[in-house]
Chain A
């Protein structure tokens, strides 16, 4: 089959490799009909995630048709059309039982590596480094899906691939980011990053009752898209002070909740920005926490900082005193995708959410390498790329 493989920093290639096989009794093989590049794939593309190996198949946002099932798969059958969540979850451990699917105990065959870095390992993910399982991803013609009874959700024929694909990651990720803010009527929510996850977080914050949503970015077309489609006010951080802007827009209180939908590769300005970039470049810190620092500083007393953006290792100059002094609550982590799927699928079917409105580019899998480059450069108004194998 054809697959998009990682070979190093800014080096991804289309390769001809063997088709995946059933390896465990709860596996299924899915023939992929649509796949996407995620903002977090750019951390791999930029070489910031350790334990990638040459030849690893990329991609964790995909859907398709079940073409083969293992002997223990009960809920799926050949021919089913499914969307596959990006965390791989067993469905039987302590964490899965309380719907914390991305913390699954049993899916990561390389848990030892993650334990060395984090103390304990979370769930394995598709196509996201060997520390997180080393499973081949879905930017390919076929994928092996472990624990097929737990993850994949069947989707009705009336809904197109483009309407449901983002159930795999970014829609539930944006939704969880907003749900983690415990929004009450009258709340103001600030969202850093007008990429796909940020846009879905804004929309979800509204659905969950936020009075006011403020979007922060520096890419003019992204701010424009947020204004046009998400009923938000915007702050362009290249032009004005975020802290002052937020203070003004929130009546001097600060936002009730702040969402960091950017993560470890934030843009920074001024001396602290250069400092972070330099330290990250020589790996004295692995993550650039510009947005996180600002969110902590901006948040109102007793508010919540919700972090869907990915962080991988160590950060520096962390304003923890501000977090403590204001009694902030932090919520973060990979998304428990499976938990939100039935509700979100229904909202799509009802027309409440049209996730496909963020797609800016429709390409073929063969164009994958160019697609990564374009998405990274945010060239050509690139917001979200979907690819057909």
Chain B
């Protein structure tokens, strides 16, 4: 099913120099290199955090500069460079849409991790936005995903498409799903005594044509972060039997 998602690798292929040059004339282009972008982002965060905590007009200005720095770092477009016609970027791959993958190493055996995941009803224990998974038979399950507050939930039926004990599990939503998706989790032994490398790949097929794809593109970093959080929570749950939290601790008003 995952082969269907060819457009996610789509990126402009420049046939010749002329086309590439014509791109420069229009919208602002990325003109910063990676280390500089990182420094700009980190510096921006510090400046912003500092400025905002000052609570004064000067602080706000500092925060503003921080915001600009951060923006410059995250977009890779420096207005000063643009004005001076400087380009410090390096070629970068186009964005992948709605394909999320992440890897984590967990200090448990492949078998333990596989067993836990194989019971899909366990998934909501660490997938924050998953309200419920009900196993309907050996290879079918019903999933309910909680959307942001007030937006209700999305449900679908899924089937297991691959089950290799201790190695891999793959599933996909069945036709009729509101949010068509496929998932794969792999379990690979890490170098001696270092546990198991767990890989997670989730592919969403956004509804609603171009608009849906644009929305999904925008939401992609959010989804990627959510997946990373979920897999981190899986690791904590499997390594220590609990997920760290500060929700519910007292603070000053």
- Residues of chain A having any CB pair with chain B under 8 Å: 1, 3, 5, 7-9, 13, 15, 17-21, 23-26, 47-48, 50-57, 72, 88, 90-94, 97, 105-109, 111-112, 116-117, 124, 133-136, 144, 146-147, 282-284, 286, 313-314
Contacts and interface: CB of A to CB of B under 8 A. Distances in A.
6 contacts: A48-B50, A51-B49, A52-B53, A54-B252, A97-B107, A105-B235
B107 A124 contact: no
Interface string B42-69: 1101110111011100000010001000
A56 B107 CA distance: 33
Contacts of A56: 251-252
Contacts of B251: 5, 17, 53, 55-57, 136
A105 B107 CA distance: 10
Given A19-B250, A106-B235, A112-B228, A47 B43 contact: no
Contacts of B239: 90, 92-93, 105-106
Nearest to B253: A55
Given A90-B240, A93-B107, A94-B194, A109 B45 contact: no
B244 A57 contact: no
A18 B240 CA distance: 28
A8 B53 contact: yes
A283 B247 contact: no
Given A5-B252, A112-B228, A26 B53 contact: no
Given A7-B252, A47-B50, A94-B194, A109 B242 contact: no
Contacts of A112: 225, 228-229
A23 B245 contact: yes
A72 B55 CA distance: 44
Chain A at the B interface: SS class: loop
A250 to B, nearest CB: 37
Q: Which of B55, B239, B240, B243 has the most CB of A within 10 A?
A: B240
A135 B245 CA distance: 8
B195 interface: yes
B208 interface: no
Contacts of B42: 117, 313-314
A54 B249 CA distance: 14
Contact of A57 (B46, B55, B250): B250
B252 A9 contact: no
A15 B252 contact: yes
B83 interface: no
Q: Which of A53, A107, A135, A283 has the most CB of B within 10 A?
A: A283
A93 B190 CA distance: 14
Given A57-B252, A105-B239, A106-B239, A133 B53 contact: no
A269 to B, nearest CB: 24
B54 A26 contact: no
Q: Which of A55, A93, A124 has the most CB of B within 10 A?
A: A93
A15 B253 contact: yes
Nearest to B51: A283
B105 interface: yes
A283 B62 contact: yes
B244 to A, nearest CB: 4
A81 B121 CA distance: 41
A24 B250 contact: no
A136 B50 contact: no
Contacts of B247: 23
A51 to B, nearest CB: 6
B102 to A, nearest CB: 12
B248 A146 contact: no
Instruction: List 6 A-B pairs, minimum CB-CB distance, nearest first.
Output: A55-B252, A5-B252, A50-B49, A18-B250, A283-B47, A15-B252
B194 A136 contact: no
Contacts of A51: 49
Contact of A134 (B107, B235, B240, B246): B246
A24 B242 contact: yes
Contacts of A106: 235-236, 239-240, 244
B65 to A, nearest CB: 8
B39 interface: yes
Q: Which of A8, A53, A90 has the most CB of B within 10 A?
A: A90
A284 B62 CA distance: 11
B241 interface: yes
B232 interface: yes
A134 B250 CA distance: 11
Contacts of A105: 235-236, 239
A94 B105 contact: yes
Contacts of B195: 94
B250 A133 contact: no
B138 to A, nearest CB: 32
A9 B62 CA distance: 15
A9 B56 CA distance: 12
A136 B250 contact: yes
B130 to A, nearest CB: 18
A150 to B, nearest CB: 9
Given A50-B50, A314-B39, A109 B228 contact: no
Nearest to B237: A106
A133 B247 CA distance: 11
B53 A124 contact: no
B53 A9 contact: yes
Given A47-B53, A284-B43, A108 B252 contact: no
Given A108-B244, A283-B43, A283-B62, A13 B252 contact: yes
A17 B252 contact: yes
A161 B43 CA distance: 42
Contact of B240 (A17, A48, A147, A284): A147
A26 B246 contact: no
B36 to A, nearest CB: 13
A116 B49 CA distance: 14
